[in-house]
Structure 1
Amino acid sequence: MKLPEPFTYFVDRSLGREVVVQALRAAGEQVHAHDDLFPQNTPDTTWLTDVGQRGWWS
């Protein structure tokens, strides 16, 4: 499977929104954190669908 260009990471709540996100950004990667886009209580089926439709990788 070929990954979409540009590659975008999505970091879910289990990894937090600081350490991993900041490390990826420092490495020049495109990254979005769950809590920057969704309320914390958003059901997995909702955010997983949205992230998948955007072509981001979690």
Structure 2
Amino acid sequence: MDACNRCGRKLKTQKSIDDGYGPVCKKKQAEADAEFEKIQITLEEVVESGVAV
């Protein structure tokens, strides 16, 4: 793919094309992924909390 998966701009280097993101968007995506992972809970945590699903 020759367009960034985050912003859609044309990727210029082979490394960026391989990654699917330009350097700035790659950093932003990594930060967003880390934040997403931080707020996730497991099924075990739900069961332990006693919340009915």
TM-score (norm 2): 0.24
Greater length-normalized contact order (CA 8 Å, ≥ 6 residues apart): 1
Kindly name which structure, 1 or 2, has the bigger radius of gyration based on alpha carbons.
2
Going by fraction, where is helix more abundant, 1 or 2?
2
